[in-house]
Amino acid sequence: MSKPRVATAWLGGCSGCHMSFLDMDERLIDLADKIELVYSPIADVKEFPTNVDVALVEGAVTNSENEELAHQIRRNARFVISFGDCATTGNVTALRNKFSVEAIEHRSYIELSDKNPMVPNEYETIAKLMKKAVPLHEVITVDFFLHGCPPSADEIWFAVTELLAGRTPVLSTAYLRFG
């Protein structure tokens, strides 16, 4: 019997949620027996695959590449999990929302560029920032939410193993916290 196909994706986040995923430590060995990891920043896969069973998506949607990947994930994954507070609420990534895109680009690509100043047509090749960084569910339908910055390894393990067992993960109040 083929194993469930699991993906993890990284949008506008710091990768801390993926670090927490790796914090499952020896449970990763159990997980590796039960699943096929078909897409992840920790695997060298360029295109989001088809027929994914569970996708964990870290980070807010903050630029055109994030938005495109979010739609690809939704088209190809049976269950989408909003993975951590940035995906769930915008969190740290959305702190930039009080500034205009122009001010952020100027600060990032001109004032703080090590190629000071970066010429405008160089940074025009970088993915376009959306006007606001938004949580994942404002762009695509999300099936489950994992809170926390980052969610704990125990919470990730619980949610993924419940889904793989064909059950709906009911997160206890211990897991329903932000930050």
For the CB of residue 146, give the shortest distance to ligand SF4 in the complex, in Å.
9
Distance of CA 132 to CAs 17, 60, 87, 104, Å? Answer: 21, 10, 13, 11
Which residues are paired to 5 by β-bridges? 36
Distance of CA 71 to the CA centre of its chain: 13
**Residue in 26, 177, 11 with CA at minimum distance from that of residue 81:** 11
Q: How many CB atoms lie within 10 A of CB 120?
A: 10
Note the helical H segments in 35-63: none
Residues 63-92 that bind ligand SF4 (CB under 6 A): 84-86, 91-92
Q: Does 155 engage in binding with ligand SF4 (CB under 6 A)?
A: no
The token pair at 108 is 């990032």
Binding mask 89-128 for ligand SF4 (x = CB under 6 A): --xx------------------------------------
Which residue lies nearer to ligand SF4 by CB, 130 or 149?
Answer: 149
Nearest-approach distance from CB 16 to ligand SF4, in angstroms: 3
Q: Which is nearer to ligand SF4, 10 or 48 (CB)?
A: 10
> CB 121 → ligand SF4: shortest distance, Å?
31
Structure-block tokens of residue 6: 């699991």
- Binding residues vs ligand SF4 (CB under 6 A): 13-14, 16-17, 58-59, 84-86, 91-92, 149-150
